[in-house]
Amino acid sequence: MLSVHTSPLEQPGTGDAGGMNVYISQTATEMARRGINVEVFTRATSSDQPPVAELAPGVLVRHVPAGPFEPLGRDELPAQLCAFTSGVLRTEAFHEPGYYDVIHSHYWLSGQVGWLARDRWGVPLVHTAHTLAKVKNAALADGDTPEPRTRVIGEEQIVAEADRLVANTAVEARELVGLYGAAPQAVHTVSPGVDLDRFTPGSKAAARAELGLPADAVILAFAGRIQPLKAPDVLLHAAAAMLRRDPSLADRLVVLIVGGPSGSGLEQPQALKELAVTLGIERQTRFLPPQPGPALVRVYRAADVVAVPSYNESFGLVAVEAQACGTPVVAAEVGGLPVAVAHGVSGLLVPTHRARDWAGALASVALRPERHGELAANAVAHARRFSWRRTTDALLDAYASASVSFGALRTEVAV
């Protein structure tokens, strides 16, 4: 697996680490459990990192030196792709030919590396975009920076070169075909999963006590990377609107924001805190740094509603994790979120990003105990439809079908 710009060993929820890191670490671990060895190549960001680290039995992470031993912005990474590719090719050259069977690249920067390695090694390339520049640019938050044309071109090249493309949802599969000209038969739709052993329902009271939050509070939570695309500001505006409508909530409402700055959000890391002050909800808003799995479970269990107000989301792991913990989700009706959340069953989908619409949706779930109970029960059942085992089954199918068509292609070329 190629994961140039972020390592599955990093804590997700800030910077470049998010759902893709979880995806790689979960699917690689599941493959290894089935006897398939996985090596994940990622760029070394510190001289303290060992050249090779074990993520789980059967899963190695290789830190490839490419550029300075420090984090680089995504705009700086394309200049390091030659160095990275050279590191990947040299690693393989230490082995007998035929050491790797399949390359799975994650995100377009890795796809650029994978395309060359595929030709050198004579093995198929399977690519997952995770996000697409054309889709992101069509749904930008006000004032957010568009993805550059170089990325669009890079993605188009990978779509043309990869043997198989993995899309998170049918919507993304259509985007690959319609916007990028992918061959429909090359696209596999594979739902991401959720760790159903970790994300389980549990005592709300205990979770609140552990977080130091009052048992009778009305808690709205957001978890994820803090950047305009994820729109945590929409939640703050909505909370302020709820308070205007019902001032008696002032002593009970808590807005919990979990995560750290990322992407264009890094330019103004304090912006969300300043917004809470401007909106007069500083007292109701709590910020927590990115939380590792078990602590995140506490956050989901403590919340009455988890909000996912993103302008775009190719799937939305947070939405499924929260539901697996028995918490209804109010999400924007964009990208993969209508798959992750069953509207009116396990949560609500909001077609706009207007504060009053969000305030109405959040209140209708958080402040109506009967409805909340129903949605919470359905949320657990809905989340059970997803699992990393199933994701891995489908990825292995994609690998197998890539191998067959790659083999056929090689025979054709040889003839």
Residues forming contacts to ligand UDP in the complex (CB under 6 A) are 12-13, 18-20, 22, 223-225, 258-259, 290-291, 296, 315-318, 321
* 120 among annotated binding-site residues: no
3-state per-residue secondary structure call for the chain: CECCCCCCCCCCCECCECHHHHHHHHHHHHHHHCCCCEEEEEECCCCCCCCEEEEECCEEEEEECCCCCCCCCCCCHHHHHHHHHHHHHHHHHCCCCCCCCCEEEEHHHHHHHHHHHHHHHCCCEEEECCCCHHHHHCCCCCCCCCCCHHHHHHHHHHHHHCCEEEECCHHHHHHHHHHHCCCHHHEEECCCCCCCCCCCCCCHHHHHHHHCCCCCCEEEEEECCECHHHCHHHHHHHHHHHHHHCHHHHHCEEEEEECCECHHHHHCCCHHHHHHHHCCCCCCEEEECCCCHHHHHHHHHHCCEEEECCCCCCCCHHHHHHHHCCCCEEEECCCCHHHHCCECCCEEEECCCCHHHHHHHHHHHHCCHHHHHHHHHHHHHHHCCCCHHHHHHHHHHHHHHHHHHHHHHHHHHHC
Q: Give the number of residues written for the chain.
A: 415
Cα 412 to Cα 31: distance, rounded to the nearest angstrom: 31
* 368 among annotated binding-site residues: no
* Least distance from ligand UDP to the Cβ atom of residue 256, Å: 11
Among residues 22 and 281, whose Cβ is nearest to ligand UDP? 22
Among residues 85 and 346, whose Cβ is nearest to ligand UDP? 346
Among residues 84 and 311, whose Cβ is nearest to ligand UDP? 311
Among residues 241 and 302, whose Cβ is nearest to ligand UDP? 302
* 150 among annotated binding-site residues: no
Specify which residues 230 forms β-bridges with.
Answer: none
* 73 among annotated binding-site residues: no
**Paired tokens of 83:** 């160095």
* 107 among annotated binding-site residues: yes
Among residues 100 and 287, whose Cβ is nearest to ligand UDP? 287
CA distances from 323 to 132, 181, 233, 343 (A): 26, 35, 22, 13
* Least distance from ligand UDP to the Cβ atom of residue 224, Å: 5
* Least distance from ligand UDP to the Cβ atom of residue 119, Å: 30
* 385 among annotated binding-site residues: no
* 304 among annotated binding-site residues: no
Among residues 213 and 317, whose Cβ is nearest to ligand UDP? 317
Please provide the distance, in angstroms rounded to a whole number, between the alpha carbons at the two ends of the chain.
Answer: 31
Among residues 261 and 316, whose Cβ is nearest to ligand UDP? 316
Among residues 245 and 384, whose Cβ is nearest to ligand UDP? 384
* 294 among annotated binding-site residues: no
* Least distance from ligand UDP to the Cβ atom of residue 14, Å: 8
* Least distance from ligand UDP to the Cβ atom of residue 20, Å: 6
* Least distance from ligand UDP to the Cβ atom of residue 406, Å: 29
* 321 among annotated binding-site residues: yes
Residue in the block written with tokens 């939305």: 316
* 225 among annotated binding-site residues: yes
* Least distance from ligand UDP to the Cβ atom of residue 367, Å: 25
* 313 among annotated binding-site residues: yes
**Paired tokens of 274:** 């300043």
* 74 among annotated binding-site residues: yes
Among residues 311 and 315, whose Cβ is nearest to ligand UDP? 315
* Least distance from ligand UDP to the Cβ atom of residue 61, Å: 17
Cα 322 to Cα 331: distance, rounded to the nearest angstrom: 12
* Least distance from ligand UDP to the Cβ atom of residue 27, Å: 13
- Return binding residues for 1D-myo-inositol 3-phosphate: 5, 16-21, 74, 107, 131, 151
- Residues annotated in a binding site for UDP-N-acetyl-alpha-D-glucosamine: 11-12, 19, 225, 230, 291, 313, 321
Which residues are annotated binding-site positions?
A: 5, 11-12, 16-21, 74, 107, 131, 151, 225, 230, 291, 300-301, 303, 313, 321, 327
Residue numbers in the known binding site for Mg(2+) are 300-301, 303, 327
